[in-house]
Amino acid sequence: MNNSCPICSTGDLDQLDIRDAVPILMNRLYSTALEGRAATRGALVLMGCRGCGFVWNAAFNSSLIVYDASYENDQTHSLAFSRHLRDRARDVVAAVPAGDLIDFLEVGCGQGRFIEEVALVAERRLRSVEGFDPAWRGAEGEGPTGGRIHTCYFDTQTAGRLLHAPNVVATRHTIEHVPDPVVFLSALREALGPDSHATVFIETPCVEWILGNAAMQDFFYEHCSLFTADALTEALRRSGFFDVAVDHVFGGQYLWARASTFGRQTTQEITSLKPRPLPKWARQQFTEKWRADLAERTKFGPVALWGAGAKGVNFSLMVDPHASMIDHVIDINPAKQGKYLPGSGVPVVSPLTAATRKASTIYVMNPNYLDEIRTIATNVGIAAEFVPIN
Ligand SMILES: [Zn+2]
């Protein structure tokens, strides 16, 4: 176990939580409840740095995790998420000086949804768009909107496949899956080459939002590295990036960092090294609170969750590990419907099917989706009380 923070090297650490057996993959669903409950598990030993606020899983074992084509994490069926993607695509396009053609690279591009969005916003300014992701399901070198996606990680070797040197790069929701972020970012910087003249965007969950909202369902195995704005700034600076600036987006849930591969190193240090409050063992209070709430609500009718992503998987496992109280989980992603969650084995259904199960309470895993969930529910005839978890 590290005795110092992997980002800022501070030795002032705190152990925040330990969980023995959590599912290692949150976005792999199963054909039966039994298979879901038998999903491979690992330990979560959450450490926090009082210097930069970085939070990480000291028991993370990357050899347990394989990201391949069976990984299903498409959130873009949601309107709120689509709007968020559009805004980030506008940021990407605006980072290239007006009049210049755009050569965009996305590292960890999934099935190319953000590539499509950037192409749509960039229009004729787009000269090339390429992505790298071992979970890409299409043919090697093919992609949406004339882009090219490569079924591999991006590194100094595979960088040779790029047709043009990128002038804008994004990596979204990737770095939180990496056990050594400085090594990951340094490798990215190296793969872009010494002559790179690019703006780089990084999107990742904000651990201050998670802690501030007591969103304990947001701590799970795959997210082994969780950042504050300070921690992300420091990680980028130590990896050879310049002019780092970090915004909060998506209702504060995500950090959106912007950095350059060129420029001059500033002497700016981490702004505050005074000890940060790190709530220890907040999960126990969270679990007890929601378990009591759930037990009370099941007296009045079936209780369901909305959202079969990582938050829903984790919430059901913490609050109702044997699925004895939660009746079903609703998700609008057709690839998840008819399947079962890892860990608890709760069945995932479409909104239409959910209407027939007549839940009286539906816990909403992400408050950002509350409005569109209410609209969908009204349209299919779900009449339940909606309770956001944060
Ligand atoms: Zn630190």
Write out pLDDT tens, residues 190-233: 999 999 999 999 999 999 999 988 889 899 999 999 999 999 99
How much distance in Å is there from the Cα of 55 to the middle of ligand 1? 8
How much distance in Å is there from the Cα of 289 to the middle of ligand 1? 31
How much distance in Å is there from the Cα of 166 to the middle of ligand 1? 31
Query: Identical fold at 1-279 and 282-388?
Result: yes
CA distances from 13 to 5, 210, 278 (A): 7, 18, 10
How much distance in Å is there from the Cα of 159 to the middle of ligand 1? 31
How much distance in Å is there from the Cα of 242 to the middle of ligand 1? 19
Domain ranges for the chain, please list them: 1-279, 282-388
Q: For residue 251, give both structure tokens.
A: 């209702």
How much distance in Å is there from the Cα of 292 to the middle of ligand 1? 36
Q: For residue 235, give both structure tokens.
A: 């990680």
Query: What count of residues does the chain have?
Result: 390
**% of the chain residues with pLDDT over 90:** 79
Closest CA to 131 of 153, 109, 160, 155: 109
Mean pLDDT for the stretch of residues 74-103: 90
How much distance in Å is there from the Cα of 312 to the middle of ligand 1? 29
C-alpha dihedral sign at 74, 76, 78, 83: positive
* Confidence (pLDDT) at 368: 87
How much distance in Å is there from the Cα of 203 to the middle of ligand 1? 19
How much distance in Å is there from the Cα of 262 to the middle of ligand 1? 25
Closest CA to 59 of 10, 1, 7, 6: 1
336-388 per-position pLDDT tens digit: 999 999 999 999 999 999 999 999 999 999 888 999 999 999 999 999 999 99
- C-alpha 207: how far from its chain's center? 11
Distance CA 145, CA 119 (A): 7
Q: Is the pLDDT of residue 128 over 70?
A: yes
What does pLDDT average to over the chain?
Answer: 92
**Lookup result for tokens 């039994």:** 34
The phi-psi region of residue 67 (left if phi > 0; otherwise alpha if psi is between -120 and 50; otherwise beta) is beta
Q: Regarding beta strands 126-132 and 102-107, do their DSSP bridges make them parallel or antiparallel, or are they unpaired?
A: parallel
**E strands in 145-284:** 148-150, 168-172, 199-205, 225-226, 242-249, 254-260
How much distance in Å is there from the Cα of 98 to the middle of ligand 1? 38
Q: What residues have CB less than 8 Å from 223, skipping those under 6 apart? A: 57, 176, 177, 205, 310
How much distance in Å is there from the Cα of 1 to the middle of ligand 1? 15
282-388 folds as Rossmann fold (3.40.50)
Q: Which of 37-41, 69-73, 340-344 has the lowest mean pLDDT?
A: 69-73
* Confidence (pLDDT) at 378: 96
How much distance in Å is there from the Cα of 7 to the middle of ligand 1? 5
How much distance in Å is there from the Cα of 37 to the middle of ligand 1? 35
How much distance in Å is there from the Cα of 207 to the middle of ligand 1? 13
Q: Is the pLDDT of residue 268 over 80?
A: no
Q: Which CATH architecture has domain 1-279?
A: 3-Layer(aba) Sandwich (3.40)
Q: How many helices (H) and strands (E) does the chain have?
A: 10, 16
How much distance in Å is there from the Cα of 210 to the middle of ligand 1? 17
Q: Taking the CA atoms of the chain, what radius of gyration do you get in angstroms?
A: 21
Q: Is the pLDDT of residue 77 over 80?
A: no
